[in-house]
Each structure stands twice: as C-alpha cells, then as structure tokens.
Amino acid sequence: MSINRRQLIVAATAAASLARPAFAQAWPSKPIKLIVPYPPGGSSDIIARAISQPLAEALKQSVIVENRAGANGNVGADFVAKSSPDGHTLLLCDVGALAISPSVYTKLSFDPSKDLRGVTMLAYSPHMLVVHPSVTANNLKELVALSKKSDLNFAVTAMGSAPHIAGVAVERASGAKWVYVPYKGGVQAIADTIGGQTQVLMNGMLATLPHVQSGKLKVLGISKKTRMPLIGDVPTLAEQGLTDFESGTWQGVLVANGTAPAVVARLNAELIKIVRSADIRSRLTGQGAEVVTMASAEQDQFFNRERSRWAQVVAQAHIQLD
C-alpha cells in the first residue's frame, strides 16, 4: 500500500495537533478566578479588587475575585495548589505569611514550595504597630514599660499569621509582655482594637492606615528599616531599638505548579504593567503600599528566604498549630 506525499502531510499535521500542549491553545479560554484566601477588607482583598478590572481588560476575559478564607489563608492556598494548572485559577495572598505556614502548621495539606509557583510580587506594605487611643504609651519604649505594669491584649489577625509572628518577634526583642487574642481576620482584629476590647495590634499598613488617619487608632511605629514618606513623622521600630527589624505584608500572585511557562510569563508581564501604571501605583502608594515586582523565579527565591527566616522565630517561640 503506497502513501502519497499529501497523506503524509495530513498525518503529520494531525499528530502535531494532538501533541500540541494545552497552553499553546487560546488562553485564557474562560473566566479567571482570583482567589483571596482571607476575608474581604484586608490588604490582599484591597489589591485584588484594584487589579481585577485592569487584568480583565488586558486578558479580554472576566476576572472574578473570590474570597476563600480559613486556616490563616491555607484553605484558599490549598484550593489553588490543587486546581488544574491551566492558568485560570490564581492566588493573591501575603507571600510572606504563606512562607510561615510550613513552620507553624504540623498538618499542612499542601507544600507551598512544591505545589505553587510564583508569578510576581505586587506590593509591600509594612506592619504598623498601633494601639487604642486610650493607651498612654506614645512609642515602643513606653509601650514595653506599660506592658510590664498593666495587662495588654494584643489582637492577632490569625494565629500563625505574619502579623502574629511579627508581634512575637517584637515582644521577644523588646521585652514586652502581652496576651494574644486570636481573630479570624484583620478586619475584626482592627474593629475590636478600635472598640477597646484589645489594646495593641500589628497589621498591614494598607488596611490599617485609614483608621490611624481618622484618629481611631494611634500608631507607635512601622516595621520597616526606613521611614515611609506617606507618614514620615512615624519612626520605624528599628529606630526605636529593634535593630534591622523589618516585617510586613508582601502581596503577590501564585499559580499551581505545572502551569505552562508561557502562561506564567504572560501573567507576569500583564500584572507588572498593571501595578506599575500611574493609576494603580498612585492608589496603592496613597494607602501605604509600595509597588514591588519580581520575575517568577525571584519570587520563588524570596519565598524560600522568608520560609527559612521566620522558621527560626516560630521554633524559638514554640508556635505550633494543627
């Protein structure tokens, strides 16, 4: 039986079509889910809602922000880690907090280092150390002294969260003494500190600054090595005796490991373009966040450094959660 040249070409074309990887097909081919693993109103949620429409316009596909809160962000992260790696499910979260989870949780249902890969960082917002206005301390030294004489309740946005671990680090380094009161998110922790049920709070500047500006909370310091221009009169914790201390919320986007490099590269390019645009940059800067972008590999390296750094604090403080 003879096969002519035309038949060979048709057969070769069909084989190539079958072998073509999925990412080479039109992407995105359906609405994109932007998973925020925390309740509405926090730093990640604020940024997700700021970038969702510009991202939809850039990709010519709907982008739906979906809050999947629970277990300090691990419920939503697990959902993305186990999703199809087709680029239609994205995770927008505090990458630093995600890096803490493997050290804090004894039973984590996924491995962030293996099951997720970075797309890009978007923004950095330092933690603000704030107190209820009735607290007489006006700086870290006075707060430490007061904590040794009076009972101070420290609002924890979530046990094992980045603000919680940062608060532990401040307590250990400064000699302060406070009682940790856990919440299921930053919004309620802020509300109770404003209401006076708790007296001390560390939380991302993006979500906390409006309440400082309104006078509902009093800021004593920020967890950055250098002062923030937006609140240049507020000293850093490093200036107040905690040498080189720095913490904060590092908002970034991740996808399930196995997502095609071409999709990751496209997302990286579009997201960087969006957060660097004059409109989004201005909105974030005006709320206390700095635009910080990275290549995918850089974000993965950042994650591994943060995981190693905070594992030491977690071990020293004997923090373990199931």
Percent of the chain exceeding pLDDT 90 equals 79
CA distances to 49, 95, 130 from 296, rounded to whole Å, are 22, 13, 34
Q: Which own/partner pairs from 206-214 qualify as long-range (CB within 8 Å, at least 24 positions apart)?
A: 206/43, 206/46, 206/47, 206/123, 206/125, 206/249, 206/284, 206/287, 206/288, 206/289, 207/41, 207/42, 207/43, 207/46, 208/128, 208/130, 208/288, 209/128, 209/287, 209/288, 210/287, 211/130, 212/128, 212/130
pTM of the model: 0.84
pLDDT in tens, 232-253: 999 999 999 999 999 999 999 9
CA distances to 3, 35, 66 from 79, rounded to whole Å, are 50, 9, 11
pLDDT in tens, 128-160: 999 999 999 999 999 999 999 999 999 999 888
